[in-house]
Amino acid sequence: MPDESNAAGGGGDDDRKIRVVVAKPGLDGHDRGAKIIARALRDAGMEVIYTGLHQTPEQIAATAIQEDADAVGLSILSGAHMTLVPRVVELLREQGADDVVVTVGGTIPADDIPELKELGIAAVFTPGSSTEEIVEFVRGAVSERA
């Protein structure tokens, strides 16, 4: 059985690095936080694909499938999380990628977090979450699903 905990941030078959798609769905034009998270994940040894601004759920799901992503991190500050996030999850499931760990970060009201988790979101990171917390969560969640 392969070692599931390599120091480079991998944790899967043959020490393959964890692959994370970081995406900005919708019309939100502020991506500083997404870039900080992308850099933290990369610095932790993960392979990060940043999609850029103004991505549709269809584009995000397609990128996750094409890149064989282990995780998708959605950064949303626009308030459209209850529309965009469920669509990304639905598209991933339709394409047989329901093992992809999906997280959301941004200005998400506390009242919406339980519903997002019911939809299949593994974690919601609100302002003030540390990059270390996010890195460790992604490592653990991907390892559990492997």
Write out pLDDT tens, residues 75-90. 999 899 999 999 999 9
Give the closest residue to 47 by CA, choosing from 6, 69, 23, 19: 19
- In the chain, which residues have pLDDT < 70? 1-14
pLDDT at 28: 86
E strand or H helix at 144, and its extent? Answer: helix 131-145
What is the structure's pLDDT at 14?
Answer: 53
Q: 61: which residues sit within 8 A by CB, 6+ positions away?
A: 88, 91, 92, 95, 97
Asked whether 106 and 116 are in contact (CB, 8 A), the reply is no
All domains in the chain, ordered by first residue: 16-145 (3.40.50.280)
